[in-house]
Structure 1
């Protein structure tokens, strides 16, 4: 795994392409997107996917809990570290991220911002070194984005229901460092 300056890449292109279908990867590798979130894959193809992403010069993250056939525990993380070229791990569970970071992965804590309980759970993200990013979804309004950004002081990724240029501009204007979308039209913005 090579060293990457993910923060600089996201400043240059704040759109993260998130893929649910392995068949979308080859097309995506020809795009200008620099960061890819692999949201669904399998143990049979994850290594090849990571190698394609790395060979294209892009940065890949994988959602630990959505790799079919791979456990989302320390053994699964060690497998990814030793057998893939992914730079980062996306997870909804805090212990997975702690283990991932100890193995040298960048980390994205993905949280569904559905109520004040979810918002208040972000207090654990105030450590200045951990996690590397917070991803909130679905695409909240600007007021919520600003409140989360003010509370956590970590780079914020907004995802879920990002459908057009206006959604991207709104999220970035209100403090998001990047957006993540599975919408191919958004990847082309």
Structure 2
């Protein structure tokens, strides 16, 4: 409270001066609570930090260093395993792509191939090592491979080129057409539909 507030309460100016001299100005309760809560929080924080410091005193620095080194080793091993699995996956995918249409089951064929001798280019295509192994595998286990389709030529008469006269190429359809057109002509001029 200040002097004006004391006078408003009914004190004389002299009395208000004496109260202020004896007690000074008062602090609002909200400000007091704010400062008091901050003090309590600081005391709690200091106690918590003191406890943490005591726990840190108990920690063995050499033990921590050993644990850090162990974790670094585990991380390095995990990274190598990840890179190995990634390389194996890329290699398997490239081999499957190269075997597409050549084998019945790519997974079985891949299990029979030594992946360590196969090399890939920067685009992930097989460049070396697969053809030799496939040749050997095809000789030892031909049942894994899809037989190559050979062009089949049927033996016998080829209707499109049935006429043996190369100078006058005609097919049977042409001969029948000529036969139909020559109806009514004398028998000696009638054409044989078989080209004879």
TM range (shorter): under 0.3
**Structure number with higher relative contact order (C-alpha < 8 Å, ≥ 6 residues apart):** 1
Larger strand share, 1 or 2: 1
* TM-score, structure 2 as length reference: 0.13
Bigger Rg, which one:
2
TM-score normalised over the length of structure 1: 0.13
